[in-house]
A and B are shown apart, each in its own frame.
Chain A
Amino acid sequence: MKNLSLFLVLLFTTISLSAQEKDFSSIDIVVQSFYEALAQDNNEMRSQQLAALFTKDGQISSVNHANNKPASIKTGSWKTFYSGSTSLYASYFLSNDEVERTVDFYGEIASVHSLVYQTLIQKTSKKEYAQLYWMQLDLVYLNNRWYLDYTSWTNQYQNVAVEEAILSDTIWHQLSK
């Protein structure tokens, strides 16, 4: 038992170090790592991976649309999300498959939009649920790497294609002077 505990401690330490030492100098790696972190089943490791990705006050918000009733919206820090989501992870395995991405950036900020197929597998019944999400990620480049500063996800509802979210409308605003 002692050996097992030591093994787990070493495992956590190794994973923690790898998360911290990962090269987050590209937006792509940060985005991929975020989806990996969301799919991480182990609470402690998920917490460490999210901590390595987010700024100190980084936010996560979620919009869960349901048919014929107002959407359920949650806002707060990534830490709030982490502590509030452990029950979901207790019941389901979660995986993310990114299918499309757009990036706008200037200077030290970047705004990423992506479409992600999220799959939940009920741990006991093995029943599978899949849904397409619009993910929004705002990043900031500090100390030679990108950090997540804000993320949100929005699920598809009532057969309204969430792919529409990726398409942009451009509005020109006449200056007053």
Chain B
Amino acid sequence: MKKQITLSIALLSSVFMASAQTEQKSAVDVVDHYFEQLSAQSEFLTTLFTPEAGISTVVYDSNGIATQVKYSRESYLKELQRTGEYYNFIQEPLVLIDRSYGYATSIYTSVFMQFVSKNETNTLKSKSVQSFKLLFIDGNWKIDHLSIQNEIPGTKLDDFLWPEELTASLSNVNPVSAPEPVVSLYDENKIYSTTEVDEKPVYPGKSSELSQLLKKYNASDSGENGSPFLILISEDGGASLYYVNDLSSDQISRAQALTEAMVPWYPALKDKASVKCKIKLTIQ
């Protein structure tokens, strides 16, 4: 009974209509509409939710302890608008697991996210898993609850939620779960972790200079006391923000400022060639 369909956005509107609701948008349409409206951050977004809807996100404190942040549809819009002051963001559902019966629908989906800094050309890319609960009220599907879990570094999404067929073009920018084939020579497109390179990236000058810089932005490279994020050191030593996980908008801004304040690094070496390398830092 399971169906597996590849559909364009345009085709999505033709499926999963309950027989009694053929004139209205389907639940999948509404979820699609939600993702389209996120980047606009308009008041219209709130109309996609029921008045009592809750939006739940999981964030991690400086000790890595998970806490829940719960929004109403109005406070969620405000949070999106705050983030929108610094970033243009695009979220696109990738694989949607749809369960539906009568006036209720559940959609569990993987999401590809892009945050484009308004001051820079830098684009941050990430993933999340989101669980939508929808109800058919007064002739329209409305989101009654949304749970959001952003990607956890080191915890891969299930393959069925992130299929190679759809994500092959993202593999070079995939921050965590990109396929990592065993190769004897370096791959110029690959972003290596520090454990994979022959020589790790080195910040020029005395070690205290990097420490002072990190301290200025309440960041650390010791792996403790802060929310984790990744920076990318390119082949020419340039540093850029790479993966922000669950950082708040303020933390993202400081992490961005930190990378901009860095002088070029000595890049990582693999097979005697300079290669891209990601470094994990934490920020308060």
Contact = CB atoms under 8 A, between A and B. Distances in A.
Interface string A141-177: 1110000011010100100101011111111111110
Contacts of B95: 170-173
Contacts of B6: 172, 174
Contacts of B53: 75
A169 B2 contact: yes
B216 to A, nearest CB: 31
Interface in B52-76: 52-54, 56, 58, 65-68, 70
B152 interface: yes
Interface string B146-178: 011111100101101101011001100000000
A150 B147 contact: yes
Interface in A114-157: 134, 136, 138, 140-143, 149-150, 152, 154, 157
B98 interface: yes
B152 A63 contact: no
A65 B102 contact: yes
B152 to A, nearest CB: 5
Contacts of B15: 171
A152 B131 contact: no
A111 B135 contact: no
* Range, interface on chain B: 35 or more
Contacts of B96: 170-171, 173
A167 B1 CA distance: 7
| Best-buried of A77, A134, A140 by chain B (most CB within 10 Å) | A140
A109 B129 contact: yes
Contacts of A162: 101
* Range, interface on chain A: 35 or more
A165 B103 CA distance: 11
A140 B9 CA distance: 30
Question: DSSP majority for the A interface?
Answer: strand
Question: DSSP majority for the B interface?
Answer: strand
A174 B145 contact: no
B98 to A, nearest CB: 4
A106 B149 contact: yes
Interface in A11-28: none
A149 B54 CA distance: 9
B165 to A, nearest CB: 8
| Best-buried of B6, B66, B160 by chain A (most CB within 10 Å) | B66
Contact of B5 (A136, A149, A165, A171): A171
18 contacts: A57-B70, A59-B145, A70-B103, A73-B136, A76-B52, A77-B52, A107-B149, A107-B151, A140-B68, A140-B147, A142-B67, A165-B100, A170-B96, A170-B160, A171-B15, A172-B94, A175-B166, A175-B169
Closest 10 pairs between A and B when the two form their complex, measured CB to CB: A165-B101, A150-B145, A106-B129, A71-B103, A107-B149, A171-B96, A172-B6, A109-B149, A154-B104, A108-B58
Interface of A: 55-57, 59, 61, 63, 65, 70-71, 73, 75-77, 104, 106-109, 111, 113, 134, 136, 138, 140-143, 149-150, 152, 154, 157, 160, 162, 164-176
